[in-house]
Structure 1
Amino acid sequence: MKHLNKIFAAMLLAVGLNANAQDSDNPWAISFGANAVDTRFSAAQKFEDQFSNFFNAKDNWNILPSVSYLNVSRYIGSGFSFGVTGSVNRIDKFVNKVPGTYTTFETTNPGDLMYYAVDGVIKYSFMDLINSKVIDPFAHVGGGYTFFGDASYGTVNGGLGLTLWFTETVGLTLQSTYKHSFDENLRRPNGDVPTHIQHFAGLTFKFGGKDTDGDGIYDKDDACPDQAGLKQFQGCPDTDGDGIPDKDDACPEVAGLAAFQGCPDTDGDGIPDKDDACPNEAGTKAMNGCPDRDGDGVADNVDKCPDVKGPKENGGCPWPDRDGDGVFDKDDRCPDVKGTVANHGCPEITEEQVNKLNAYAKTILFNSGKSTFKPETMPVLEAINAILKEYPTSRFSIEGHTDSDGSNALNQTLSENRAAAVKNYLIENGIESSRLRSTGFGETKPIDTNKTAKGKANNRRVEVKLIKD
């Protein structure tokens, strides 16, 4: 216990060094002192007998002659605080009701029966209600866990207390807590945890307040807690001395006018320098204090062409049209090639060119029964690819067809594979995949008879069709 006292003494010193002057700025509190455990309270059967020996310390109270409890709490608000209490005691007076009676009790010595308890406490202070700075009555509720020797059980707690504040941070606390146990049973030492009352008496210290900038005004009431200031400005400084505290001064380092929140107006255009994009040139409010020489609605300070009208989106300059097709480069999908407005500045493929594509497509040769190209057809594919590159926004459908030799299923698959082979070749050679799609029709769309070799050759074909939006 001597070591325990030393520990509490060290904690007291630490709290004393950190304590501050105002209760509202000191949300933390620590209490410690002695506690007494009375097991007689719940042994009586009649309600009036519960209080008959409430203060009978000589006969019923168990007191450990040492610092035997510690409470740490935190103020929550509106008079409420939450804390945790740890206590220790030695039970040498254990009160039991004599079996068969209602009012007869016997006090026994259970031997070296140690008592330990850990309790959560929600406390409500009536100090503000009675408008006192010294007398602080309170009520509390909570719960915890208690050890009576070898027995242990949870309890539901409630009680009353009083703190008398010697200073704003140091006070004497007296408290009684009723601890109701559901482990009454036979009230056997080391076998049950009886319902009991625990009394506390000790010192309470409040701490935790901060005055970060050291100007004598606590952070809670300091409008500028990180800057030393003046009391008349709620702890805020006035760096430029214009009578406007820095927290309200839009220009705290330059003296200015109250009309402009402490800022100057160098060019006298009625726009304070802090909001004036051209503080040394008189301008208009619409242009953030800058002039607009060309009248295009773009202020000179951001106008890349201040003497030539142009849209704001292009920095005040006229939109360029490199290919001269009447479509501005920003909207021209082909800015370096003349096109039409209808086709977003890109050239439109003509029917003649489409016919040319199909003339080439009909000469594409595949290996018999396969979707691989014959070597002599490569120049044809290159010619088709070149035409498609001339019209970068046009989209095309590659369609495959077969003659009637073989089954319908095989012909359908073959036509799809051949159309896909052409599509893949074009993609591999620079045509965007989004511009192409492929499909096969098998033998379902012949353009000639399938009864002659010539007719079948005509039916085995690839067609290229323009996809119109």
Structure 2
Amino acid sequence: MKNLNKIFAAALLLLGLSSQAQDADNPWAISFGVNAVDTRTSAGDKNVFAHFDQPFHIKENWNILPSVSYLNVSKYVGSGFTFGVSGSVNKIDKLVYRSELNPKDFVVKNPGDLSYYAADAVIKYSFMQLIGSKWFDPSLHIGGGYTWFGDYDAGTVNGGLGLTFWLSETVGLSLQSTYKHSFNDNDDRAVGVPSHLQHFAGLTFKFGGKDTDGDGIYDKYDACPEQAGPKELNGCPDTDGDGILDKDDACVTEKGLAEFQGCPDRDADGVADKDDACPDEAGLKTFGGCPDTDGDGIQDKEDKCPTVKGPKDNKGCPWPDTDGDGVLDKDDKCPDVKGTVANNGCPEISEEQINRLNAYAKTILFNSGKSTFKQETYAVLQSITAILKEYPSSRFSIEGHTDSDGKDAMNQKLSEDRAAAVKNYLIENGIDSARLSSAGFGESKPIDTNKTAAGKANNRRVEVKLVK
């Protein structure tokens, strides 16, 4: 047992030298299990093949220690070859001899439970890649070693066959038979180390391949060795399952499209949701993905009339034309009264109305020598006011005139005062002052003779003129 412990220690030392892999991925492997020693081969005749004519007489010829009795450590060296070292231990209680009475017969004797130790070096060639299998692994091996057999020891030359059934990528059931030719093989079974067959059955574990993220893909093949991912994506994750690797995906947790670096576009408007101000409404890129239903260049959320085209100045709504005169309210000086385009939407006063105004104006009566109105004149002034209100954009000049009685300066002032009095009355009754002006002409513009009372009455007048 002392020697076996040394063998095991050496094997474990070898095991710790590397953490690479047994076939190109896991070049290291460790095998352990039970072994059986069969000395029948040394009891055969000179015919080489006769040495192996009873290989499976297990009960009769095999020496088996019912416990873990061998350990093998090996390393893949390339092209199907591995190199390994093995240590094994056994008890020999069945030693096969040729019968002295009949040389063709064999007898099995107990030599006294001899101890058996062996340390071997093995070069193995696997046919698995050659036959294209992933689980059936036949092999050949050769090597040499040293065997301690009871009180004797000797070197051996070894060769044999093996078969491993890989239950997974790294775990296999291994079977092996090795012929060990001893350099100290004597016909006397009580002396020396006989040549023998040694059979092995156990488990093999391959290891050494580095898989940092534990996704089943070795780091050397893994495009993302520190993030677990599927094999079809070379070991890189795709959290949202959209076929775009997380490392290239701008929206890792949301399924998206390649054209948007893995981000979604729910409304299919060509703007990724992360950049879309209206992700659930198809819109235009110019508006950050928001719609402009009426196509007026104003996005719906800012458009007061989203279904009707309108200018930006009116918040997307069309300008109204309240009075229907063809002039928009924004340009219409009289938005509530139908007018003409030429007069900015306001009605144009007719010549007939001007004549009416002047007919009324001629009937305005003032107290003698004063600019105050006689009582009966107020009805006339109201009629004039009503006409002016119908034409809110028209401007008028109120002109005062006198007869020739009295001094010129007095008549000039009186005409001015009387024109101003009419103007002030109109302003006080709702006419915009900007529309009115007044002037006095005294006796300078008579329309009749000043030699008769009737002529003078005609010259004392107020006129209303349209200012164009």
TM class, shorter-length = 0.3 to 0.5
Whose Rg is larger?
2
